[in-house]
Structure 1
Amino acid sequence: MSRLEILESQDMYFLGLLSLLVLQSKAFKTNFPDETIAELSVNIYNQLRAAREDENILFSPLSIAIAMGMVELGAHGTTLKEIRHSLGFDSLKNGKTF
């Protein structure tokens, strides 16, 4: 096998693996309750607007919710309760996907 053939086969292997990873990532869907994200969006906007009245605001409430959801997975006790409360996830049962 020539060096070019080896590189081409490695490229094809990489592309195949990448395709499988992309397909798998599409299989998992995050189901945040719409009203929870809407409330979170408004709350964050109001806090940012109060802090920076004369500036433009750009943020992603869904990204914040997803990141805090990951933090929530490692939290326990009072910290977990505070995170769930601040995100509006109080009404969700423990272990329920959102």
Structure 2
Amino acid sequence: MGDEGKYTHCDVCGRRYEPGAPADGWLEVTVEGDGGYASPDFCSQAHAVRWFSESSLPLTAITIKAPTARDRLADIALALPFIAVAAFTLIGLWTVISWI
């Protein structure tokens, strides 16, 4: 997989990763929260779930803002050139077909 040598040990059970062994199942996670930064390694997805459920690292949820009128105008401004190209393409195709 190319991940060999990337892991050291599982942060939940302490199982060591053997260099040269397949990295199947091993996970490396990077987490950044208000209180700090962590980069734990896990030997299984179950251990990752357990670590996140017991972690004392304060994590904040990402909030998605509703699009504003300015965002909508920018969407329209970006879409107009594509619509124009499609329209000119159709006009060109119509012209070629009418000559045939």
TM normalised by structure 2 equals 0.30
**Which structure is higher in helix share?**
1
Bigger RCO of structures 1 and 2 (CA < 8 A, at least 6 apart): 1
When Rg is computed on C-alpha atoms for both structures, the one with the higher figure is 2
TM normalised by structure 1 equals 0.30
